[in-house]
Structure 1
Amino acid sequence: MNEIHRPEDLDRATIERLARAESRVVLAPGLLAALAESRRATLDDLDGDRPVYGVNTGMGAMAGVRLDAEARARQQNTLMAGRAAGSAPWLRRIEARAVLAARLRTLLHPAAGVSPGLCEFLVALLDADVVPAIPRRGGAAGEIIPLAHAGAVLIGTGQVLSPGGNGEAAAGQNAALALAAAGLAPRPFEAKEGVAFLEGVPGLTGLAILAASDVRTLLAQVLEGVAAEHAVIGASTDPLHPALADSDELRDVLDALRERYRSSGRTGALQAPVSFRVTAPALAVALRAAAGLEAAADRALTAVTDSPAHLDGRFVGTFGFAGTDLAATAAALTTALVHLAELGTARLHRLLDDARTGLPRQLSDSPGLHAGMVTVHKRAVGVAHRLRRFTGPALIGPMETSLGQEDVQSFGFEAAECLGEAVTGLRDVLACELLAVHQARLLGADVPAGSWAEILPVSTADRPYGHDLDELIGWLGG
């Protein structure tokens, strides 16, 4: 149990643990007192006739419409209903929990002006594992559509994910039933809390935190596979010379490859194929991009994301809903991962060349009768080709909504979806590479058995390799 004394205690690492249900948090009394104070100040400044966007006015193009007292009393909950316009496919449980955790973190900022009770209710939802069904595709205008689906659960409407499921909405189970089963009652939004819940980019922030962590793991696995592929072809160690490092990331990659690559003594070509020589800098670029996404997520967690934000005694319209920083850094990482997938298909192709490896052509134990790894390579090529369509930055392409009030969009959920596809695709390509390395070793290559060999058959005969690849993908994904 982690006690959160300050908003910054709910950092990126803690959010990831909450998303994975590996930790629980409690809000310390001092933090609750600070939230109560910022809430009192917010309510004091709401007491008057000044227009406050989304509180006593409509939203978007309706901002010029003033609401009477009766409408104001209903509006913060009504905001969720008309904006919950999404549908399946839903985020996975871990992803939806990350969204809730990131939302909690941003609501702890005093500029949000929400009550301690709202923040404690989000903690209770995470503790009870009541997980909103949040659409995977976000739509436009910030994250109002997915966040409306999450907010609808708090007030007892909408859908929740099936207990133990991985992204399925519970058939016929609405939020009120799920809350009751967890011993919770619906918690209506109070003044300004509904609009605060819909603002910002906690969705992309939470998804970016998970993706960056997955990428770190995946890049370490790619490095292990690359070292083994070097051994299969007897690649020159010249491109691994420490003097070639132009950054800390590249230095770390070169050090790790030299440590893991132990040449068998077999001498390959004077120069290894380009795909082998440029993999180290490509890994360094991906590591740098992952760090960039992590830094953007850290900035998003500490930034003022509410609009209007309560600052210096007044309500200020902000740009915190845009997600530009996160969308741009996610796109950079997506491109770096797709490039690594393309390099993987090229290295894999070289492993099928008997002139490179000294092994049977196509890594077949019976050339002509058995196809060997040629169709495994074809699968990798198809995956890499598909990935190219996800390298177009989601940030590019402004489209107007709300009668032109929202005339530029950042499309954060789409940026997260592209990054997720790149992670999944690179993992698929890597599985193909590892299977070929395993085959090469069984055919006589002087390569140490990787840890992945434990889940693969000790056989070089043709078989439905899809099963082996599924096992490898599952193993790589943990």
Structure 2
Amino acid sequence: MNQTISIENLYADLDRSLDAMRSDDGTVQRSRQVVERALEGSDAIYGVNTGFGALASKRIDDDQLGKLQRNLLLSHACGTGDPVPPRITRLMMALKIHALGLGNSGVSLPIFRQLLKFCDLDILPFIPSRGSVGASGDLAPLAHMSLPLIGLGRCWNADRSGSEPATETLARHGIEPVEPGAKDGIGLINGTQLMSAYGAFVLNRAIHLMSAADILGSMSLEALQGSARPFDERVHRIRPHPGQITVAANVRDLLLESEILESHRHCGKVQDPYCLRCIPQVHGASRDALGHAIEVVERELNSVTDNPLVFSDGDIISAGNFHGQPLALSLDYAAMALAELASISERRTYLLLEGHDGLPKLLMSDTGINSGFMIPQYTAAALVSENKVLCHPASVDSIPTSLGQEDHVSMGSISALKLLSVLHNVERVLAVEALTAAQALDFRAPLKPGKGVLAAHEYIRRHVNHAEEDYEVGHDIDTCTRLLQSGELVETVQSAVSGLR
């Protein structure tokens, strides 16, 4: 039985699934037997003994079925542009193995075992990232992924600095190419594994990032001597969006035992700006949107998106499970949700620089000769603005392909590629807030912030020093970005605030 794949435990779940299939590929074998029995009859089976797309009515002779699949991989390997990153290529392969292992694709055992062997040896095909329209699946990228199985195409070289002919890679590992049989080519390239891999990669990172945004917002709130009253549980109980409730609870927990809060509890300030006061509403909405995207992508990871589909009763049905529309819409939505975390973060960074409530302007005591943290906010503003362009939905577009046979496509691959760019921008915007909030909190000493904020501040300070004068700040932004990407910041704070979600 194949392991169910979740976003939160993505890599461990995939490892378990692949381990199960290494020890027992009987489901794949039984599915293949259905295809072989069907070929003994006289029925036309789309993509198995017929042409593809607009050529579906052309019947192929039995002695040409292997060549048909080989030609399919060659003709569809016409992607272009920057390569898919190696980490996502590895995910694509693992997800393809998992999908084929569900037993509705009918591929041959040599092809399936070759895929497993590539994963075992960490052989990564070199895949141009552009060329998929998101239906019939991610045809061009998956064709590039599959060609090295049969000794064609290109792979990443040993140090991942570039590509080399697949023949060289296979020779280095002592692997012989395999020949595709009937159904193999179409089983490999019909599917949503490029979209799914990008989506899973980003959403796996987003789980930590959502909590990090709450931590950084709380750091800024403390540094700016903001009020904790807007996070009162009663406020959120009467507008019970789940994400909003979670974020408000996180902030309350992060602020526990705050000396800074106590020092200004009766200061007379009536309201904070929205970027502080509305953290639960904004972060919470993003949490709910990302939660929806996670549900959709998890369903997709555990689905069969091949065509035609092979069933144990002997039926082989040509249908449309390869259509990427569920992913296209959800990944567009996820990009907008992530972008909003950066948008409100940049506003908090701006506030930190303004010199409110005893903080020095630009967060440095001797300005004029020093510019302080003026320019990191420019960087954050530029990235937030870029995200506004990237968040234009790809899923609202469609251009007919295959001479009109494939007359509505999802463009979900574009949604996926944009989503990764948005993630990278958001991580860097939050890194700027981490840097500036930590600097601002230094000026509140000797008063201590809440225990969760204190844990975050101390963790950042173990990696980045307080700045007394101008320096090459870009290095520290990169450091804070790595801290966010690793998830270690969140894990450190969770050890101090056990209920943080």
Do both share a fold (TM > 0.5)? yes
Structure-2 separation of matches of 1:94 and 1:364: 40
The residue that corresponds to 2:146 in the other structure is 151
The residue that corresponds to 2:341 in the other structure is 340
Bigger mean CA offset, 115-124 vs 49-58: 115-124
Structure-2 separation of matches of 1:181 and 1:452: 43
Structure-2 separation of matches of 1:186 and 1:28: 19
The verdict on how the C-alpha distance between 1:59 and 1:346 changes in structure 2, with shifts beyond 3 A counting, is same
The residue that corresponds to 1:259 in the other structure is 253
The residue that corresponds to 1:184 in the other structure is 175
CA deviation vs aligned residue, 1:168-204 (integer Å, no higher than 9, x gap): 432xx21122122223211222111111111120221
Matched ranges for 1:323-338 at <5 A: 323-338=324-339
Q: Does the CA contact (< 8 Å) of 2:48 and 2:65 recur in 1?
A: yes
Quote how far apart the aligned CAs of 1:28 are: 5.8
CA deviation vs aligned residue, 1:28-68 (integer Å, no higher than 9, x gap): 65x42232222112210122232211122111111122222
Query: What one-letter code is carried by the residue in structure 2 that aligns with 1:112?
Result: S
Query: What one-letter code is carried by the residue in structure 2 that aligns with 1:335?
Result: M
Asked if residue 243 in structure 1 is aligned to residue 231 in structure 2, the reply is no
The verdict on how the C-alpha distance between 1:279 and 1:14 changes in structure 2, with shifts beyond 3 A counting, is closer
The residue that corresponds to 1:456 in the other structure is 464
* Percent of aligned pairs with the same amino acid: 25
Asked if residue 214 in structure 1 is aligned to residue 205 in structure 2, the reply is yes
The verdict on how the C-alpha distance between 1:87 and 1:18 changes in structure 2, with shifts beyond 3 A counting, is farther
Structure-2 separation of matches of 1:277 and 1:325: 34
The residue that corresponds to 2:286 in the other structure is 286
Quote how far apart the aligned CAs of 1:302 are: 3.0
Quote how far apart the aligned CAs of 1:240 are: 0.7
Q: Does the CA contact (< 8 Å) of 2:2 and 2:17 recur in 1?
A: no
The verdict on how the C-alpha distance between 1:408 and 1:320 changes in structure 2, with shifts beyond 3 A counting, is same
Q: Does the CA contact (< 8 Å) of 1:232 and 1:357 recur in 2?
A: no
Structure-2 separation of matches of 1:444 and 1:14: 39
The residue that corresponds to 2:39 in the other structure is 46
- What SS class does the counterpart of residue 82 from structure 2 fall into? coil
1:160 to 155, 158, 162: 155
Structure-2 separation of matches of 1:462 and 1:214: 32
Query: What one-letter code is carried by the residue in structure 1 that aligns with 2:31?
Result: S
Structure-2 separation of matches of 1:408 and 1:184: 40
Q: Does the CA contact (< 8 Å) of 1:53 and 1:308 recur in 2?
A: yes
CA deviation vs aligned residue, 1:352-408 (integer Å, no higher than 9, x gap): 122x33211222321322221221111111110011011112111111111111111
The verdict on how the C-alpha distance between 1:214 and 1:73 changes in structure 2, with shifts beyond 3 A counting, is same
CA deviation vs aligned residue, 1:319-347 (integer Å, no higher than 9, x gap): 11111111211111110111111111111
1:55 to 48, 57, 65: 48
Asked if residue 232 in structure 1 is aligned to residue 233 in structure 2, the reply is no
Unmatched tracts of structure 1, length 5 or more = 1-5
Q: Does the CA contact (< 8 Å) of 2:243 and 2:280 recur in 1?
A: no
The ranges of structure 1 where at least 4 consecutive aligned residues each deviate by more than 6 angstroms after the TM superposition are 21-24
Bigger mean CA offset, 437-446 vs 387-396: 437-446
Asked if residue 421 in structure 1 is aligned to residue 416 in structure 2, the reply is no
Structure-1 separation of matches of 2:103 and 2:16: 28
The residue that corresponds to 1:3 in the other structure is none
Structure 2 length-normalised TM: 0.88
Asked if residue 374 in structure 1 is aligned to residue 382 in structure 2, the reply is no
Structure-1 separation of matches of 2:37 and 2:30: 11
Matched ranges for 1:99-118 at <5 A: 99-118=92-111
Structure-2 separation of matches of 1:182 and 1:125: 10
Query: What one-letter code is carried by the residue in structure 2 that aligns with 1:241?
Result: D
Quote how far apart the aligned CAs of 1:125 are: 0.8
- What SS class does the counterpart of residue 310 from structure 2 fall into? strand
Q: Does the CA contact (< 8 Å) of 1:337 and 1:426 recur in 2?
A: yes
The verdict on how the C-alpha distance between 1:410 and 1:289 changes in structure 2, with shifts beyond 3 A counting, is same
The residue that corresponds to 1:465 in the other structure is 473
Please, what is the CA RMSD of the aligned residues?
Answer: 2.2
Quote how far apart the aligned CAs of 1:26 are: 4.5
- What SS class does the counterpart of residue 111 from structure 1 fall into? coil
Asked if residue 271 in structure 1 is aligned to residue 238 in structure 2, the reply is no
The verdict on how the C-alpha distance between 1:169 and 1:15 changes in structure 2, with shifts beyond 3 A counting, is farther
Query: What one-letter code is carried by the residue in structure 2 that aligns with 1:258?
Result: R
Quote how far apart the aligned CAs of 1:460 are: 2.2
The residue that corresponds to 1:199 in the other structure is 190
Unmatched tracts of structure 2, length 5 or more = 487-501
